[in-house]
Chains A and B, each alone.
Chain A
Amino acid sequence: MSAAVELLEVHKRYPGGALALDGVSLSVPRGRVLVLLGTSGSGKTTALKTVNRLVEPDAGQVTVLGRDLRAWDPIELRRGTGYVIQEAGLIPHFTVERNVGLVPELLGWPEERRRARSRELLALVGLDPARFGALPPAQLSGGERQRVGIARALAADPPLLLMDEPFGALDPLTRRRLQEEFRGLQSQLGKTVLLVTHDVPEAFRLGDEVAVMDRGRVLQRGTPAEIREAPLPGFVADFIAAAQP
């Protein structure tokens, strides 16, 4: 099974001196969910953003869907990649429906097809299109906005989803429910997913595999069971232990 995303010895230092990535290598097999787990400042979000070229690495190689990153046109790459961020990042003056249909709009789909797709996806993430479609995002609850964010990422049916703390801003109950729904969706759609979180239970619940990061490096990588049972002594063990109730 070939990798949909592959990072090889990637380095990134931000202007101002902070070292964000210190030789990160990882790969996400097609159709699997890889979770990047770490504290804030560990470099996990930077690693994710190299994949859709929101961050340009200083050194190392990134391959997306079999093509070297530098061979991708960034606009085309981003339109072909679903992107979900914390608090959804919805465009405040667009209706929910237009937000969901944004990437199809940028791709130039005809309006009818766009609207049909928006409704289909709203229904898929559990929002009634008739009720929510015409509302501005500000009138939705946090959980509803996050669902819209996921629907938007799926709109153009991209093979790859990048999710940056997608459930980070939600209350525990809503978060738990969305996590369940995400697992259901994922088993149904079979996307390749790279997901970033600082939440250990979330990582174990959603990831086919988990990569634990600290200070710009991947310290340990394995299935949730492997990491839970044999965490690498030091940072990984402490981090996992700290999350146990």
Chain B
Amino acid sequence: MGLLRFLAERRSELLLLTGQHVFLVLVSVGIAVTLGVPLGIALVRRPRLARPVLAFANLAQTIPSLALFGFLIPVPFIGGIGVRTAIVALVLYSLLPILRNTVTGIQQVDPAVLEAATGMGMTARQRLRLVELPLALPVILAGVRVATVVSVGTATIAAAIGAGGLGTYVFRGLATVDTRLILAGAIPAALLALTADGLLGAVQKSARPGRAAALLAGATAAIVLLALIARAPAGTRPVTVGSKNFTEQVVLGEILAARLEAAGFAVDRRLNLGGTSLCHAAVLDGQIDLYVEYSGTALTDILKRPVTPDPAAVLRTVREDYARIGLRVGSPLGFNNSYALAMRRADAEARGIRRISDLAPHAATLRVGLFGEFLEREDGMPGLVRTYGLRFGVPPREMDLGLLYQALASGKVDLVVGSATDGLIAAMDLVVLDDDRHYFPPYDAIPVMNEASLRLHPGLLEAVESLAGRIDEQAMRRMNYAVDGEHRRPADVAREFLAGAGLLSR
């Protein structure tokens, strides 16, 4: 019953996210039908084109959705982050079933009926309108039905690029290891899918599917139009704050956003974006105006420079290199979020492991869990293994950041690579191993801002700089735990912190 109360408490946000979700699906499937049905008709007429076009649609369908969103970010006009990109991706996914069913639906019309229609003196257009389309309609509708249900599911991923929708809860829940949040996103999404499936199934089976489909299309167009009117831009462009997809980043995003709002800016939150490269691409492109990066991540992962242990040198290099690509690096916020290798306390004590260098003799029997980024990065796994001479018996398991600690707690892995400010380290009584050979570079939290945005929004830099040095490791770990451990909302935690620091007024 906890879940029901949880949902009831968040009903207005839930309603908003559901609305966004429905909007994404309706617009996408609407566009896919508008494109797919005429294209399908054209393909029946020109069979030579059918193979390459269907092959392309097939290919688009097989691209993993997060990867497709990633591909679209740098593409001009249709790409970027936000609703537009999500719609483009969803249209690509919806196209195949609609296209394929239009082609099959028309092809399976009885040739004897077609010949009779021709023999009666129908023109090609009349044959299409009066005979082929009506007879193909049930099959086309089946395609629309599949496309819609798939879109409801895929649209949850759209939250990763800041398009909103119920996936926002799912991602937030994954990031904060909060099952209720995951369910709060997943259950309404499943209900939406069932509703859409039932509705389109009823249209398909109705006595006059043509009229029912027309009715449904009309209703869809009306809803989309109303939503567009409701969304119409309200004057000046707001400041867009981004964040990566883990708790600390979301909290930092909320802190930036609330601080800017306190300073009088209108703020658009694009939190929980896919990852480092996604956020970097977005701020470079002006899709977001600012987000919080870590100096070591910027140095090695983005600038591809060698690892150095000196925090001041790292910051200087990042600041200079960023200035050349139109990005401003603000003053450090005050904490260093280095990587942390964590183990269950009992396990670590039994094996006598306190430092990373103690790992070497045990490496063969340890199962490691880490997130994908760490495996690839210059300052990640390869260097760690080299520096400490580790030879793990089983290859490390990649998993979502949010799932790491669950896996450690449930004994699925024995060692996780997390970050020093993870709230769950304290909450779960984990041991953090000492980086005794100083392998990890400094990871000072730094606001990264687009230069053009600073010119566009006077006073933005000052508002951000007011946070310089105000968040230390302890404060950050506490806030992370408030979200991860106590399941409080990042926005509330952020406001509370700002209020305590006297930063909620101009």
Closest to B130 in A: A91
User: B122 contacts A89, CB within 8 Å?
Assistant: no
> Is B121 part of the contact surface with A, judged by Cβ < 8 Å?
yes
Q: In the assembled complex, which residues on chain A have CB atoms less than 8 Å from the CB atom of B121?
A: 75-80, 103, 106
Q: Mark A123-155, 1 if CB is under 8 A from B, else 0.
A: 000000000000000000000000000001000
User: B122 contacts A83, CB within 8 Å?
Assistant: no
> Is B116 part of the contact surface with A, judged by Cβ < 8 Å?
yes
Chain B residues with a Cβ closer than 8 Å to the other chain, count: 17
Bound complex: CA of A8 vs CA of B146, how far in Å? 55
Bound complex: CA of A54 vs CA of B116, how far in Å? 10
Known: A83-B116, A85-B116. A91 touches B131 (CB 8 A): yes
Main secondary structure on A side of the interface with B: mixed
Per the 8 Å Cβ criterion, residues 110-132 of B in contact with A are: 110, 112-113, 115-123, 126, 130-131
> Is B192 part of the contact surface with A, judged by Cβ < 8 Å?
no
User: B120 contacts A83, CB within 8 Å?
Assistant: yes
Interface range on chain A (Cβ under 8 Å from partner): 20 to 34
Closest to A103 in B: B120
> Is B135 part of the contact surface with A, judged by Cβ < 8 Å?
yes
> Is B19 part of the contact surface with A, judged by Cβ < 8 Å?
no
Main secondary structure on B side of the interface with A: helix
User: B122 contacts A106, CB within 8 Å?
Assistant: yes
> Is B134 part of the contact surface with A, judged by Cβ < 8 Å?
yes
> Is A92 part of the contact surface with B, judged by Cβ < 8 Å?
yes
Q: How many pairs of A and B residues are in contact by the CB < 8 Å rule?
A: 51
User: B115 contacts A89, CB within 8 Å?
Assistant: yes
Bound complex: CA of A76 vs CA of B134, how far in Å? 24
User: A89 contacts B116, CB within 8 Å?
Assistant: yes
Max chain B C-beta neighbours (<10 A), residue from A76, A77, A80, A106? A106
Q: In the assembled complex, which residues on chain B have CB atoms less than 8 Å from the CB atom of A162?
A: 119
User: A79 contacts B135, CB within 8 Å?
Assistant: no
Known: A78-B121, A79-B120, A79-B121. A92 touches B115 (CB 8 A): no
User: B135 contacts A78, CB within 8 Å?
Assistant: no
Q: In the assembled complex, which residues on chain A have CB atoms less than 8 Å from the CB atom of B118?
A: 54, 78
Closest to A79 in B: B121
Bound complex: CA of A54 vs CA of B118, how far in Å? 8
- Mind listing 17 A-B residue pairs with CB under 8 Å? A54-B119, A75-B121, A75-B123, A76-B121, A78-B121, A83-B120, A87-B112, A89-B112, A89-B115, A91-B131, A92-B110, A92-B113, A93-B135, A103-B120, A103-B121, A106-B120, A162-B119
